[in-house]
Chains A and B, each alone.
Chain A
């Protein structure tokens, strides 16, 4: 009796949760659907869900009109570049904080993370001026550097929370067996650290991929990644929903797919390690 009612309750709750999930997912779904409509169908009323004339012409159009693929590549280069550069700097630091903590390590970490909360407008003008003077405005390199610096505190924090979970006894055991610093790093820590590094990589690629403030402020036509491109596309072109949706769909597809296949890492990453 009790079991039956709790089972029914579970079904009700599950249905409710999925209904809300669908509601939340609707704008994303709608973007994808609209991208396969013609412009006329995209603004048609009543709107149609699946029984419209499916077409790929928006994708071809977006590409031929504005060289979409170049902006896509810019996004890839910027997010991968800033992430890899950040990891190279952050891994040694997080390693030393996790395994050789000083008295103030925790304070330093908290402080670093707190800088991430400051509004980026606080450092925008100096960076803009410096970039203008040394010719880094509208360049991929400039964006890679800025995004790396902006996300560095998060990279270090994430790596730290992962590294901390590696049991210290393993290190002691390795040392007892006569492993030096090099062997310790190469054969003991690295294999155990790979999952944490991979999740941090994923999180940071997403953050850099979505970055809009810096990309909008520091790029023009040449180095603009997808966010800046789509922001510029939406205003002067008027209400070309279907084409805008096609551009948007291609921009969110990598994250949707990447996120779905690494759900645990995505959740943990976005919540900065709070949700395991």
Chain B
């Protein structure tokens, strides 16, 4: 009896978890997908109605604004975070003093909710109070920084805040990668007379390929999920100029009570994320099973 228990217990404690995740994640996703094929409004309705919600979604100008914003935001967010993160990682890799403390400070923005830290950002970006006002007071009265209230530029304030929040995080991942590069290779390169620039571009960066990939995946899924940033900073405004798919979905589901359209937008987001992570997971699993 004891032996049997010992053999089956490990499987027994894992399988309910497996079942719950399977149901919770995929069951509910299937449910959402189904709702996206119905006429659900404020109440769910389970009569199949075909693609009507998708047609409506793709005829909503606001959805295009959300998609364009997502596109602009992700490209800038991923690009700048990666570059800044790499720069900061190389900086910290020079064995600075009190590295642990600096690393923690760099990571603080990620450890705090942006709903809360957004307060200071609203002050900094407010043209009448923050950066613009301070520069004006210094005498540079031509200086313009009204992005927060400018519908064409507001999305870039979300990018700034996002970069502030996540580049320290990218730094931490890159730093771990830099530290894991084999010391012997670096010594050999030094003996062969490679300078720091060549060492970085020819040896260290190519070695970091897997780290780049995971940083990309993490930042990409963060940008598609980004919700707090927009809610805290602009609440989607001015108008709906800074809407992103997640806030679009939120506002359609709960403010406008159009569950069906909201579900359709959720399905579009799911499909986008799947298109990114499935190939990644596939290659990752092939690696580990080899």
Interface residues of A (CB under 8 A from B): 9-10, 13-14, 16-18, 20-21, 24-28, 30-31, 34, 42-43, 45-47, 89-90, 92-93, 95-97, 99-100, 102, 106-108, 110-112, 114-115, 117-129, 149, 152-153, 156, 180-181, 206, 209-213, 216-217, 226-227, 230-231, 234-235, 239, 241, 244-245, 248, 251-252, 255-256, 259-260, 263-264, 266-267, 270-271, 274-276
A217's partner among B97, B113, B254, B267 (CB-CB below 8 A) is B254
B232's partner among A20, A21, A115, A231 (CB-CB below 8 A) is A231
B103 touches A24 (CB 8 A): no
A115's partner among B10, B25, B94, B133 (CB-CB below 8 A) is B25
Given A96-B10, A264-B100, CB of A123 within 8 Å of CB of B120:
no
Interface size of B as a range = 35 or more
CB distance from B94 to the nearest CB of A (A): 4
User: Considering the chains assembled together, what is the distance between the CA atoms of A9 and B27 in angstroms?
Assistant: 57
Residues on the B chain within 8 Å of A274, using CB: 172-173, 176, 214
B116's partner among A99, A120, A127, A226 (CB-CB below 8 A) is A226
Given A92-B13, A125-B32, A275-B172, CB of A227 within 8 Å of CB of B273:
no
| 0/1 string, B113-132, CB within 8 A of A gives 1 | 11111111111101001000
* Chain B residues touching A, majority SS: helix
Does chain A have a CB within 8 A of B88? Answer: yes
Question: Which of B107, B122, B133: most chain A Cβ within 10 A?
Answer: B107
Given A126-B28, A271-B176, CB of A24 within 8 Å of CB of B168:
yes
Given A106-B288, A127-B28, A152-B21, CB of A213 within 8 Å of CB of B227:
yes
B97 touches A14 (CB 8 A): yes
A235 touches B235 (CB 8 A): yes
Given A31-B117, A121-B265, A259-B111, output 7 extra A-B contacts at Cβ < 8 Å.
Answer: A111-B281, A210-B113, A263-B104, A266-B107, A271-B176, A274-B172, A274-B176
B168 touches A108 (CB 8 A): no
Residues on the B chain within 8 Å of A106, using CB: 288-289
Does chain A have a CB within 8 A of B269? Answer: yes
Measured CB to CB, the nearest residue on chain A to B99 is A17
User: Considering the chains assembled together, what is the distance between the CA atoms of A110 and B249 in angstroms?
Assistant: 28
Question: Which of B112, B126, B227, B249: most chain A Cβ within 10 A?
Answer: B112
B124 touches A27 (CB 8 A): yes
A117 touches B96 (CB 8 A): no
User: Considering the chains assembled together, what is the distance between the CA atoms of A60 and B170 in angstroms?
Assistant: 39
B105 touches A24 (CB 8 A): yes
24 interchain pairs (CB within 8 A)?
A: A10-B95, A17-B91, A27-B120, A27-B121, A30-B120, A31-B119, A45-B129, A45-B134, A46-B137, A90-B17, A93-B13, A95-B10, A96-B11, A96-B13, A108-B14, A117-B273, A123-B24, A123-B25, A125-B262, A156-B17, A227-B228, A241-B129, A263-B103, A274-B176
User: Considering the chains assembled together, what is the distance between the CA atoms of A102 and B227 in angstroms?
Assistant: 38
Q: Which 10 A-B pairs rank lowest in CB-CB distance, beginning with the nearest?
A: A96-B10, A210-B113, A27-B120, A123-B28, A92-B13, A100-B10, A126-B31, A121-B266, A275-B176, A126-B28
Measured CB to CB, the nearest residue on chain A to B137 is A46
- Taking CB atoms and an 8 Å cut-off, the chain B residues in 112-164 that contact chain A are 112-124, 126, 129, 133-134, 137, 164
- Taking CB atoms and an 8 Å cut-off, the chain B residues in 64-81 that contact chain A are none
Interface residues of B (CB under 8 A from A): 2, 5-6, 9-11, 13-14, 17-18, 20-21, 24-25, 27-29, 31-32, 35, 44, 88, 91-92, 94-98, 100-124, 126, 129, 133-134, 137, 164, 168-169, 172-173, 175-176, 214, 217, 221, 224-225, 227-228, 231-232, 235, 245-246, 249-250, 253-254, 259, 262-263, 265-267, 269-270, 273-274, 277, 281, 284-285, 288-289
A255 touches B227 (CB 8 A): no
Given A212-B231, A275-B173, CB of A244 within 8 Å of CB of B134:
no
A248's partner among B17, B96, B116, B137 (CB-CB below 8 A) is B116
Given A43-B129, A213-B228, CB of A115 within 8 Å of CB of B21:
yes
Residues on the A chain within 8 Å of B91, using CB: 13, 16-17, 20
Measured CB to CB, the nearest residue on chain B to A231 is B115
Question: Which of B116, B253, B259, B270: most chain A Cβ within 10 A?
Answer: B116
A117 touches B107 (CB 8 A): no
User: Considering the chains assembled together, what is the distance between the CA atoms of A13 and B263 in angstroms?
Assistant: 50
B108 touches A256 (CB 8 A): yes
Measured CB to CB, the nearest residue on chain B to A259 is B111
Given A24-B108, A263-B101, CB of A110 within 8 Å of CB of B173:
no
